[in-house]
Amino acid sequence: MSLGKNIYDAFEIVEKTYENVYELMRYCQEEATQKGDFIASSPKFLRYKSDNKIDGWSIKSFILVFQNSNDLLLENKWRDGPLFVMEINLFSNKYDVPMVNITKFEYKTDLSS
């Protein structure tokens, strides 16, 4: 097998993986919205991306932020309540397999500012 074919196959696998991650994120956003308890804080996902470092050239971690739809809506479009964050981590030196981490962040500061 040629080096060119190996590179092509590797990128094809990454693209299929990204398609699966997209489907998982879309499913989670739809489930949260349909049940009415949570809303996505942004229609986009967060990620680490850098042109200055090689490890920033591919996306290995996808982050979605949700808030409880029952929390008070503030002027800045955030809600006065905790953030619920889902991270899909495809590669880490901590894990042997891809992981989905879910975290709840509660803040003592005023989110309105």
Predicted TM-score (pTM) of the model is 0.80
- Residue 3 pLDDT > 80: yes
Give me the residue spans of the domains in the chain: 3-105
What integer pLDDT is reported at residue 17 of this predicted model?
94
In tens, the pLDDT along 24-44 reads 999 999 988 887 788 888 878
What integer pLDDT is reported at residue 106 of this predicted model?
92
The DSSP output letter for 109 is S
In tens, the pLDDT along 36-88 reads 788 888 878 888 777 888 877 888 899 999 999 999 998 888 888 999 999 99
